[in-house]
Structure 1
Amino acid sequence: MAAGANSYFVPGFGISRAVIQNEIRYHCGPDAIVRPYTHLGRDGFLVTTAGPPLTKAQIDDLKQSSREYEEKQSRRADETDVFVNQPIPVGHRTRRSS
């Protein structure tokens, strides 16, 4: 990241992580990066860029793109007949009795 970079918090409500990570360079320049971040107990994103900060209109665009992305993902899940919020076991081990 170039000298003169600024970091700022963007509240995450209504913004998909996949969308903001994909579109941040379009809005803030090629060196912009974004990562999940919690500020004062609120979940969101930490944006670091030497370019201009996101405007309210750009944040609104990210929210609209996020809504479209989530709807598309939901339709895709419906097509495969998968319940989106179904628990999925990860690294589950069965216990052996001694």
Structure 2
Amino acid sequence: MATQGQPANSYFVPGYGISRVVIQSQIRYYCGPDAIVRPFQHQGRDGFLVTTSGPSLTKEQIEDIKQASYDYETTQAVNRTEEADWYLNKPVYLLQRGRRQ
């Protein structure tokens, strides 16, 4: 995975606010063509392990990925409600019986 003379480095990115689909699709754009990302847990926190010989993600890039994740999740939620209205949390009315005496 490392290019000539450049060792690959791995680092943890906390997963809060980041969609797996988004980070996996955008990691090569930010960190180079050899970058990979996988789900990972570090000290009890869920997130992603990024491995690349290119540059590390900056705080601004992580914020961009979080915004793209928010946009992606919002779009997915809208699409789900349009396709399957039954998925929404709606009140379910139960038959109420009188108490037996």
TM-score by length of 2: 0.80
The alpha carbon displacement at 1:84 in A equals 7.1
Indicate how the Cα distance of structure 1 residues 26 and 79 shifts in structure 2: closer, same or farther if over 3 A, else same.
same
Aligned to 1:73: 76
Q: 2:29 aligns with which of 26, 29, 46?
A: 26
The alpha carbon displacement at 1:81 in A equals 1.8
Q: Is residue 17 of structure 2 the alignment partner of residue 11 of structure 1?
A: no
Aligned to 1:45: 48
Q: Secondary structure at the match of 1:67?
A: helix
The CA RMSD measured in Å over matched residues stands at: 1.5
* Unaligned residue ranges in structure 2 (runs of 5+): 90-101
Detail structure 1 runs of 4+ shifted over 4 Å in the superposition. none
The alpha carbon displacement at 1:35 in A equals 0.1
Q: Is residue 59 of structure 2 the alignment partner of residue 56 of structure 1?
A: yes
* Unaligned residue ranges in structure 1 (runs of 5+): 86-98
Q: Secondary structure at the match of 1:58?
A: helix
Tell me the matched-pair count.
85
Is contact 1:77-1:84 (8 Å) kept? no
Which residue identity lines up with residue 12 of structure 1 in the other structure? G
> Which is greater in Rg?
2
TM-score by length of 1: 0.83
Q: Matches of 2:88 and 2:64 in 1, distance apart? A: 25
Q: Secondary structure at the match of 2:11?
A: strand
